[in-house]
Amino acid sequence: MIERYTLPEMGAIWSQENKFDTWLKVEILACEAQAKLGVIPKQAVEEIKAKARYDIGRIAEIEDVVRHDVIAFLTSVAEYVGPVSRYIHLGMTSSDLLDTSLAYLLRQAGLLLQDRLRALRDVVGRRAVEHKYTPCIGRSHGIHAEPTTFGLKLAVWYDELGRAEKRLQQAIDDISYGKISGAVGTFAHIDPFVERYVCGKLGLKPAPASTQIVQRDRHAAFLTTLAGIGASLEKFATEVRNLQRTEILEVEEYFHQGQKGSSAMPHKRNPITCERVAGLARLLRGNAVAALENVALWHERDITHSSVERVILPDSTIVLDYMLHKFAQIMDKLIVYPENMRKNLERTGGLVFSQSILLELAKAGLTREKAYALVQKHAMASWEHGRDFKTGILSDPEIEQAIGHDTIESCFDLQNNLRHVDTIFERVGLKS
């Protein structure tokens, strides 16, 4: 991933140094396990641990000749270790090293994403509580529907992020499997103890059954989970973008001192970070599709997945890390305009309370069809001629006779429509 979207901590996980450090760790742990089995002299292991290192430039030089990254790495290490290097990688195949190391790196990345996701959820929850009773209009099809509160919008997001946390935890668990079982997974040339020992030291579990590789349904599940989280972030960002429209302006991304919105128009304040989040979500979805394509490999393994994973696995974790961090910043400093929310809520002259009138008429004994026709007549007059909806309802003798003046007034009581806000907050686990 380009530097623009790479934060330091996640970038460090996918650095060349961390990758080769992890490879070396796996190889040394395997030697330790072999020594415990008596396959390798303990003194040789100590010598390997004392001397083992690598040179990234040298690895590149060797790979130019051998066309094999693992062999190039092992050759570089052997140049430092000397004769006892013959015990390194004993009985292992390249994918034993690659897939176990990859699981370790993906677990590191997943745990960092977990921290980012938790931090975002905390911010959203705080802003939800802050605006628990801030009334605004709810919209369906982009059209005014019924009153809600801005806090309730955010409570929905908070709940969704909670589900994302659970899915991410499951994805991390699913990806945290290594394998050191040999060329086709039969342990023909290495004892299963080595796999158990290495995986245990790395915080991984041994794959119950493997071929030459850990099966790629695990990686596909991991990336589809990341794509799902990205889709939620896109949804949230799209809502902010819509609410920032000039005609609506109920919320706005924080505009920094000295920031410029347009090279041509000095007045512009654009939701550029939300747009960036929405755009990057597309990368996550595309990468998830590529991960699904990687599941089907020939027989016990081919390497059609390998080149793809060198891009999609680092990139997806780096991108989502960036998106979570940025959207947390957006929500932390989001400018909210309660007065504009109230103004928008009232701009249709009470139309948004039409369902309350409909239900009261039905309770009074009118058929739903008759009640709907009565209310819609006044609603359409309000839409088409700008008449005040409440005034029209109060002036209709048939409606007033059916439900009475006081009931009509109660139907237009905003607080009555929002009386269950506390219940919803309790359900999602948010307390004032």
Instruction: Answer yes or no: are the C-beta atoms of 214 and 199 closer than 8 Å.
Output: no
How large is the average pLDDT for residues 95-111?
98
Residues near 211 by Cβ (< 8 Å), separated by ≥ 6?
A: 184, 185, 299, 300, 301
Share of the chain above pLDDT 70, in %: 100
| pLDDT tens per residue across span 201-244 | 999 999 999 999 999 999 999 999 999 999 999 999 999 999 99
Mean pLDDT in residue range 97-123: 98
Assign 264 a pLDDT band (cuts: 50, 70, 90). confident
Closest CA to 341 of 112, 148, 128, 155: 148
Is 144 an annotated catalytic residue?
no
Instruction: Quick: pLDDT tens for 356-389.
Output: 999 999 999 999 999 999 999 999 999 898 888 9
End-to-end CA distance of the chain: 40
Give the C-alpha separation, 88 to 66, whole Å. 18
pLDDT on residue 263: 73
Catalytic residue among 141, 256, 267, 385: 141
Are the C-beta atoms of 290 and 316 separated by less than 8 Å?
Answer: no
Of the candidates 396, 391, 409, the residue with the CA atom closest to the CA atom of residue 366? 396
Q: Which two tokens stand for residue 78?
A: 């052997």
- Which pLDDT score, from 0 to 100, does residue 265 have? 80
Q: Which residues of 76-109 are buried (b: 16+ CB within 10 A; e: fewer)?
A: bbbeebeebbebbbebbbbbbbbbbbbbbbbbbb
pLDDT band at 260 (very low <50, low <70, confident <90, very high): confident
Q: How large is the average pLDDT for residues 28-52?
A: 97
Give the Cα separation of 18 and 385 in Å (integer). 68
Sequence-separated (6 or more) residues with CB below 8 Å from residue 297: 213, 216, 304, 305
255 pLDDT higher than 90: no
In this predicted structure, what is the pLDDT of residue 356? 94
Contact indicator for 44, 7 with CB cutoff of 8 Å: no
Q: Comparing C-alpha atoms, which of 429, 348, 333 is closest to residue 385?
A: 348
> Taking 80 as the threshold, does the pLDDT of residue 431 lie above it?
yes
User: What is residue 73's predicted lDDT score, i.e. its pLDDT?
Assistant: 97
What pTM did the predictor assign? 0.94
What average pLDDT does range 11-35 have in this prediction? 97
Q: Average the pLDDT over 40-64 and give the result.
A: 96
Instruction: Out of 15, 68, 189, 262, pick the active-site residue.
Output: 262
User: For position 118, what pLDDT does the model report?
Assistant: 98
Task: Tell me how many helices (H) and strands (E) the chain has.
Answer: 19, 6
Domains of the chain, with CATH numbers?
Answer: 10-90 (1.10.275.10), 92-342 (1.20.200.10), 351-411 (1.10.40.30)
Q: Which residue, 287, 387, 337, 341, is CA-closest to 147? A: 341
Asked whether the predicted pLDDT for residue 146 surpasses 80, the reply is yes
Reported confidence tier of residue 175, pLDDT bands at 50, 70, 90: very high
Across residues 177-199, what is the average pLDDT? 97
Alpha-carbon distance 77 to 37, whole Å? 23
- Asked whether the CA dihedral 78, 83, 87, 92 is positive or negative, the reply is positive
As a whole number of angstroms, the distance between CA 155 and CA 149 comes to: 10
Q: What's the pLDDT at 86?
A: 96
Q: Let me know if 15 is a catalytic residue.
A: no
Check: CB of residue 90 under 8 Å from CB of residue 299: no
Q: What is the pLDDT of residue 128?
A: 98
Average pLDDT, the chain: 95
Rounded Cα–Cα distance for residues 199 and 185 (Å): 15
267 pLDDT exceeds 90? no
- Token couple for 291: 């991960």
